[in-house]
Chain A
Amino acid sequence: MAVTVSPERDSVATPVQRAMREALYAGAISFGLFVLFIGLKTGQNISNELVLTTRWGLLAAVVIATAVGRFLYVAYGQPFLANQKITDVATGALPTGLASRFFQLPTFIVAIIAAVLLFVFNNSLTGWVGAEPAGYLQFLRALAVIYVLACGIYYFRAFIHANFTKLGITALVLYPILVVAVLSLNAWSITGGLQGSLKWVDNFGIQILIYVMLAWGLNIVVGLAGLLDLGYVAFYAIGAYAYALLGTQYGLSFWILLPAAGAMAAFWGVLLGFPVLRLRGDYLAIVTLAFGEIIRLVLINWREVTHGSAGISGIPKVSFFGLMSFNVSDSNYIAKVLGIAQSGAYYKIFLYYLILGLCLLTAFVTIRLRRLPVGRAWEALREDEIACRSLGINTTTTKLTAFATGAMFGGFAGSFFAARQGFVSPESFVFLESAIILAIVVLGGMGSLVGIAVAAMVMIGGTEALRELDFLKQIFGPDFTPELYRMLLFGMAMVIVMLWKPRGFVGSREPTAFLKVRRAVSGSFTKEGHG
């Protein structure tokens, strides 16, 4: 094909004109995508028939927003990003270009003062300015706190980078204490602080740590051994039901059932793995998915044992190693033994440390296993299965151990989940959960423990934080429910993060054992069997 370069052609395609064209395309496409789904809405009328209502205004807004967004991105965003990349390459300081302009010392000080002032006068704000502006001010306060924290992280980034693991573990250990301390100061009473800490410790702390543990468990299977498992939630379900059934029927203690649940999940892992592990790649994926669905369907339909969709309730609480209990009616209730005020927060804080301990156990075992022959065999298997087999590694046993180890941690997490909820039902073990856990493993960078923890914090913490966006009701009216958008945003975030960092937050781990030095000895100098 002959290409003629004419001066007119160059002058035609200025960035702005190109952006206009792209914006028109984007608008047309989004009109096509949304005309039926946003433009029309199906709803029931009084006689329960479906009727359509029109929302052309909203459709127009969405289409125009798409077009304008595309225009701005093509006309200004892309050139800016390209320039930024060139600047970064030229100066060699990768993140400083934009970030040092954003995190400046004067703004940092202003943000600290604003945050402190708003915290101090928090309780009298509503009286001064009314409920609605107070909501905005609280939002402003949250922004200021986030900014201050981000600044702190930015200023100490070298230190944080060097000691990330130690700092992370310290922060996790101190987290409930800090939450209770801050909230007690804020409410001027310890009981108030304990009450307020429930949400932060339970919804954020425990929730995130459960996913961290699950993702670290799955990481053994997917990240280390390279086996794609889409039904990991089955082992989680087995652990949860093992504790729920044995705990309610036989009254056994959590501390006996925790290892039992892990063993049971591992047993099922072996049972599933034995016939299917010679399948390759995606065939294995679909069989594990099918296994996850089978377990869920059996849990729903085997009503005599599992009570079907109604689930099992009244699962006993964990005791403090049998010494103290968290049931108010018991004689050795923790508040009576220690002589402190009653509160539900003790149990949550205890559970937080329990799951933190389980997480650290998982991480410790993973790190140690990576250095054992079996861990090295896993990593070798991930890199090249044929090479593994020719080196005499028994691939079936290696895969089985990975599967069973991963399943065991899933079982631990499951029994913890049952103890924390006090209630299990098949609803909690749908495929979506497997998908979320797998997404966390991949987004974190397969094989990297720190990356996975960060990914869990971002994805799960982010969706939990969306529950807190009540102030949006003041903008969009009381009918606006931010919870509805939670999973929509979650799905989109998965796509965006993956596109932005295809190798995960931290990037894949190199194999633990790696021959770094290339020896410059040619073949003719070495005898057979040496060198």
Chain B
Amino acid sequence: MQYFVQQLINGLTLGSIYGLIAIGYTMVYGIIGMINFAHGDIFMVGAFTALIVFLALGALFYSVPVVLALLVMMIVAMLLTSLYNWTIEKVAYRPLRGSFRLAPLITAIGMSIALSNFVQVTQGPRNKPIPPMVSQVYNINGISVSLKQIIIVLVTAALLALFWYLVNRTSLGRAQRACEQDRKMAALLGIDVDRTISITFIMGAALAAVAGTLFLMYYGVIAFSDGFTPGVKAFTAAVLGGIGSLPGAVLGGLMIGFIESMWSAYFSIDYKDVAAFSILAIVLIFLPSGILGRPEVEKV
């Protein structure tokens, strides 16, 4: 039982990170119906920004309180990563918005290749390890919970609450939901569709940057190629939850996190990704539009 609870906590931590990334996928998909393949690399850029800020803080000041350092890393990462996603949307996706469905997908894949290789060229191909920032571990009834895990879950919960408020209670969120339902009609009603889409990209990137910072804090290492696997997992999570649905993205993220930690604990760690992908396929066979997704109604 203790072992099980332990794995549950690990899964929750992992799932929080996936959930944060998955929201970026699902929001972009909901509003312009496109798979933003560069999102995994946006996450990686966020983690790298946090890494560089961490090193710069260490070089500039003798010692910085951990909380402050994390906060600065997160904020700078959110700002710069948003700038990346904003630029990419403007340069690579917006001109193709009226084009056929696969065109923006190809530019997104191109951008994903370009981003990861840009980081490789400018920062070098090696793994970048940092010294552990937070190392306290609490022991409750034989279950060890590290402070890192608590931070990750708390930050994720706080951000999700903020995000829920933004989408459901502000005029910005209303504009986004309107664009999601019918972009042309929203434009006719005076909503600046381009601006709303830009903000969607910025919000997705900011969440991915937070996920990147947390990822860096949790694992203590990042490399230029680390965007792909979490990106694909998060995308899987978004589809599993029902793409386009925000609670679905979080739910899917948590599910993928649980599946992974349980599978590596009870079966084999080598096949944890295989398990996650297989469960995606099985779920989609029985629920073709994900767990919380609305089935598409075709009108002829």
Interface of A with B (CB < 8 Å)?
A: 29, 32-33, 35-38, 40-44, 49-52, 222, 228, 275-276, 278-283, 285-287, 289-291, 293-294, 297-298, 300-301, 386, 431-432, 435, 438-439, 442-443, 446, 484-485, 487-488, 490-495, 498-499, 502-503, 508
A286–B117 CB distance below 8 A: no
Which interface residue of B96, B106, B232, B280 has the most chain A CB atoms within 10 A?
Answer: B106
What residue in chain B is nearest A34 (Cβ atoms)?
B122
A484 CA to B121 CA, complexed, in Å: 7
A411 CA to B49 CA, complexed, in Å: 42
Residues A33 and B83 in contact in the complex (CB < 8 Å), given A442-B103, A494-B107: yes
A431–B232 CB distance below 8 A: yes
A293–B277 CB distance below 8 A: yes
Q: Is B188 an interface residue (CB 8 A)?
A: no
Residues of A within 8 A of B239 (CB): 282-283, 286
Residues of B within 8 A of A29 (CB): 83, 87
* Those of B109-147 within 8 Å (CB) of chain A: 109-115, 117-124, 126, 128-131
Q: Is B191 an interface residue (CB 8 A)?
A: no
B107–A498 CB distance below 8 A: yes
Residues A502 and B100 in contact in the complex (CB < 8 Å), given A50-B130, A301-B270: yes
A499–B107 CB distance below 8 A: yes
Q: Is B278 an interface residue (CB 8 A)?
A: yes
Residues of A within 8 A of B101 (CB): 281
A193 CA to B83 CA, complexed, in Å: 53
> Min CB distance, A484 to chain B, in Å?
5
A386–B109 CB distance below 8 A: no
Q: Is B157 an interface residue (CB 8 A)?
A: no
B110–A297 CB distance below 8 A: no
A502–B96 CB distance below 8 A: yes
Which interface residue of B103, B111, B115, B296 has the most chain A CB atoms within 10 A?
Answer: B103
> Min CB distance, A351 to chain B, in Å?
28
Across chains A and B, the number of contacting residue pairs, with CB separation under 8 Å, is 175
Residues A36 and B52 in contact in the complex (CB < 8 Å), given A289-B232, A291-B281, A301-B271: yes
Residues A492 and B59 in contact in the complex (CB < 8 Å), given A290-B280, A293-B277, A442-B102: no
| CB contact between B55 and one of A42, A287, A294, A301 (< 8 Å): that residue | A42
Residues of A within 8 A of B114 (CB): 488, 491-492, 494-495
Chain B 206-225, CB-CB to A under 8 Å as 1, else 0, gives: 00000000000000000000
Q: Is B7 an interface residue (CB 8 A)?
A: no
What residue in chain A is nearest B52 (Cβ atoms)?
A36
Residues A498 and B103 in contact in the complex (CB < 8 Å), given A283-B239, A297-B271, A435-B109: yes
B117–A502 CB distance below 8 A: no
B102–A495 CB distance below 8 A: no
B56–A279 CB distance below 8 A: no
B284–A42 CB distance below 8 A: no
Residues A386 and B298 in contact in the complex (CB < 8 Å), given A484-B120, A484-B121, A491-B117: yes
Interface size class of B (residues with CB under 8 A): 35 or more
Residues of A within 8 A of B65 (CB): none
Residues A279 and B232 in contact in the complex (CB < 8 Å), given A33-B83, A36-B49, A488-B121: no
Residues A50 and B83 in contact in the complex (CB < 8 Å), given A276-B284, A435-B113: no
B296–A280 CB distance below 8 A: yes
Interface of B with A (CB < 8 Å)?
A: 29, 35, 37, 48-49, 51-53, 55-56, 59, 80, 83-84, 87, 91-92, 95-96, 99-103, 105-107, 109-115, 117-124, 126, 128-131, 228, 232, 235-236, 239, 243, 270-271, 273-274, 277-278, 280-281, 284-285, 288-290, 296, 298, 300
| CB contact between B128 and one of A37, A50, A294, A431 (< 8 Å): that residue | A50
B124–A43 CB distance below 8 A: yes
B117–A40 CB distance below 8 A: no
Seed contacts A282-B239, A297-B274; 11 additional CB < 8 Å A-B pairs: A33-B87, A37-B123, A42-B55, A52-B52, A282-B243, A290-B281, A293-B273, A294-B277, A300-B270, A484-B121, A494-B106
> Min CB distance, B55 to chain A, in Å?
5
| CB contact between A431 and one of B56, B96, B131, B228 (< 8 Å): that residue | B228
What residue in chain A is nearest B281 (Cβ atoms)?
A287
A282–B107 CB distance below 8 A: no
A207 CA to B222 CA, complexed, in Å: 33
A287 CA to B280 CA, complexed, in Å: 8
B51–A279 CB distance below 8 A: no
B288–A279 CB distance below 8 A: yes
Ordered by A's residue number, 5 sampled pairs between the chains whose C-beta atoms are within 8 Å are A286-B236, A289-B232, A488-B114, A502-B99, A502-B100
What residue in chain B is nearest A499 (Cβ atoms)?
B95
| CB contact between B123 and one of A41, A222, A443 (< 8 Å): that residue | A41
